[in-house]
Chain A
Amino acid sequence: MSAGEAAIELRGLRRDYGERAALAGVDLSLRRGETLLVVGPNGAGKTTLLRVLATLLRPSSGAARVLGAALPGEAWKVRGRIGLLGHDALLYRDLSGRENLRFHARLHGIGREAAETRIAELLAAAGMTRRADDRVAELSAGMRQRLAICRCVLHEPELLLLDEPDSNLDSEGRELAQGLIGPAPERTRVLVSHDPERFRAECDQVLRLGVGEPAEAVVA
């Protein structure tokens, strides 16, 4: 996939939960390396959109292509190329941060030595080296979020799906996180935030979702 090609292409994407439409027709085209900011009130379907893009939810109707793969049929082609930072840290509480990262690295097929190097780099970048061997259950919410960011970028994904990436982070944590999940030429990002002004400067498009309304995508 070359730069300039669409990383995400949605046409009339809809997702229903029973009778209720969580996403009511989303049209969008996002090129590789661009950042999309998704805004909208609670219940507008922001998290649902991220989960559909992450291949965790099937669209009810419409067409979705992510990194060149048609969802849901070709979802297997893009798993491993996506990094998801959601409401759950996706970390096991009874394992240490380092053990969790090792677990995820090995699941993504990263070799043992390469994984150790990468994990050490990420822990240092997130300011978590000192607490890396503590059980996740013993860490504060902010530290768990830092580890979750490390997990999200561990396998160097091409597409980052970030749901409120700043939640629970202090100012130092936000600054460190920027280095890991901030804009980069080869990194396509979809950001969900309740604080659009915080990310306005780094986004190329804004997608406004309303409750039960068609989505509106605008160039930032």
Chain B
Amino acid sequence: MTPSRLAFAVLLGKDLRTELRTLQSLPAMALFAVTTFVIFRFGLDRTSLSGSLAAGVLWATLLFAAILGINRLFVAEREEGGFDAIRLAPIDRTAVFAAKATALLVYLLALELAVVPVFAIFFLDSAAALPPLLLVLLLANVGLAATGTLISSMAVNSRARDLLTPLVLLPLAVPLSIAATGAIEPLLALGGPGYDRFGTWLAVLGLYDLIFLLVGYAVFDFLLED
């Protein structure tokens, strides 16, 4: 059996190298997010957002942009028979889940590093909320990467995968969305960042992450089987 850490590094390295070379996911995700911010800016006719509205605009945009990347997460495996190659290798399937979820996490972090400053320029009066905001997004990303990897691996063999991913993922992401926007809302409050129930929402995000990482660990082996 190939050591899991080696298999993880090999699989993750392959995904990141392929994305760097082809730029098939990240640019599309970033372009979608920036375009959505522009639409919100003119649709709401506001140059400044705060509180729950700001949290909702930011989170909804990031979530929908993430779906573009989640949809493509296993496309190379489906189109090129890579699933069979991975299934034939003497590796722990959990390494595949971990590598794919980590690749998605890297895409989400890169997306946020690129588009959250754009959101701040468009809608925020100060950048004071950005450091704690990144902590919230990091925790939310872990949960989204875990659920996204699970759903993408199930949807990839379906002809309706483009529909299936959002239809299954969005209901599963409701608790994550409630916790993420709950934590972001006080950070983007009018008059500067507040920390009302911030710790509680972070704990909920952490719990969500833990649950879906454990679910992924437990079931991914079966998802790759015939």
Contact = CB atoms under 8 A, between A and B. Distances in A.
A89, A90, A91, A151 interface centre (most CB from chain B within 10 Å): A90
Question: From DSSP, what is the main secondary structure of chain B's interface residues?
Answer: helix
Contacts, number: 78
**Size class of the contact patch on chain A:** 20 to 34
Interface in B43-79: 76, 79
A82 B80 contact: no
Contact of B88 (A82, A91, A109): A82
A90 B89 contact: no
A90 B169 CA distance: 29
A107 B2 contact: yes
Interface stretch (B16-24, B25-33, B130-138): B16-24
Contacts of B76: 92-94
B80 A90 contact: yes
B94 to A, nearest CB: 13
B191 interface: no
Contact of A108 (B2, B18, B22, B226): B2
B88 A94 contact: no
**Size class of the contact patch on chain B:** 20 to 34
A160 interface: no
Interface string A66-95: 000000000010011010101011111111
Given A56-B88, A104-B89, A109-B90, A86 B81 contact: yes
Contacts of A54: 84, 88
Given A56-B84, A90-B84, 11 more contacts: A76-B1, A80-B2, A84-B88, A88-B80, A89-B81, A92-B14, A94-B18, A104-B85, A106-B10, A108-B90, A109-B90
13 contacts: A56-B88, A79-B87, A86-B84, A89-B80, A90-B85, A92-B80, A93-B76, A94-B21, A95-B18, A106-B10, A107-B11, A107-B85, A107-B86
Interface of B: 1-3, 6-7, 10-11, 14, 17-18, 21-22, 76, 79-82, 84-91, 225-226
